[in-house]
């Protein structure tokens, strides 16, 4: 699961902690998983979108968390959950919560979040944030548009295609014996031997 995150430069430095968070999750130490993932998300978002200013996750509004070409942009996706995620908590809550409330948890106001539901939501949110970051990178570096071929390009391609077709139609199957005398090798012999050697070497 975590190996996919290695492709993101800004996430690589956080992978050792994420691996520990995953081990804690499997061991039932959900409180640890939640705290590590929240910290990792904050730092990752701060690093990954430098062109739009350094801002961690909680300082971004919901509209800023809409990836332009991602499943996370669904109306019930990342931006929808962001308002709940950033909900302020102004007094200590001792009852068990099943919501991933970033501010209340990190500021010590929500004290009973040690359960698999909150930890699983933290993992889900981490990967949604990664999806958002990938979309932001694509948006910042869009692929170059393909040039519309000119009439001369189309004519040239048609002539090349016609020439290839003519050569293929003119080709006839035949057997060729390579001489055992290297000095007598023709261009065809050398081309065949080079091809077979590369095939054998899996080049």
pLDDT at 93: 95
Structural contact between residues 115 and 32, judged by C-beta atoms closer than 8 angstroms: no
What's the CA gap between 79 and 129, in Å, rounded?
10
| pLDDT tens, position by position, 186-200 | 888 888 888 888 888
Helices (H) and strands (E) in the chain, counts: 8, 0
Compute the average pLDDT of residues 73-96: 70
What's the CA gap between 69 and 185, in Å, rounded?
58
Q: Cα–chain-centroid distance for residue 144?
A: 20
Of 19-28, 124-133, 135-144, 163-172, the range with the highest mean pLDDT is: 19-28
List Cα–Cα distances, 162 to 151, 169, 171, in angstroms.
16, 10, 14
């Amino acid at each position: 699961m975590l190996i996919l995150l290695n492709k993101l430069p800004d996430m690589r430095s956080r992978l050792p902690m994420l691996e520990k968070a995953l081990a804690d999750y499997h061991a039932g130490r959900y409180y640890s998983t939640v705290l590590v993932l929240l910290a990792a998300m904050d730092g990752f978002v701060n690093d990954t979108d430098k062109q739009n200013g350094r801002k961690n996750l909680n300082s971004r509004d919901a509209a800023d968390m809409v990836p332009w070409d991602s499943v996370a942009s669904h109306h019930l996706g990342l931006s929808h959950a962001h308002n709940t995620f950033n909900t302020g908590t102004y007094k200590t809550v001792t009852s068990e919560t099943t919501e991933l409330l970033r501010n209340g948890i990190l500021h010590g106001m929500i004290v009973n979040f040690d359960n698999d539901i909150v930890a699983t939501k933290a993992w889900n949110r981490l990967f949604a944030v990664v999806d958002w970051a990938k979309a932001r990178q694509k948006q910042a570096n869009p692929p170059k548009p393909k040039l519309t071929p000119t009439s001369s390009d189309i004519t040239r391609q048609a002539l090349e295609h016609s020439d290839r077709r003519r050569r293929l139609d003119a080709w006839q199957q035949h057997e060729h014996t390579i001489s055992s005398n290297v000095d007598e090798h023709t261009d065809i012999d050398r081309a065949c031997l080079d091809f077979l050697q590369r095939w054998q070497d899996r080049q």
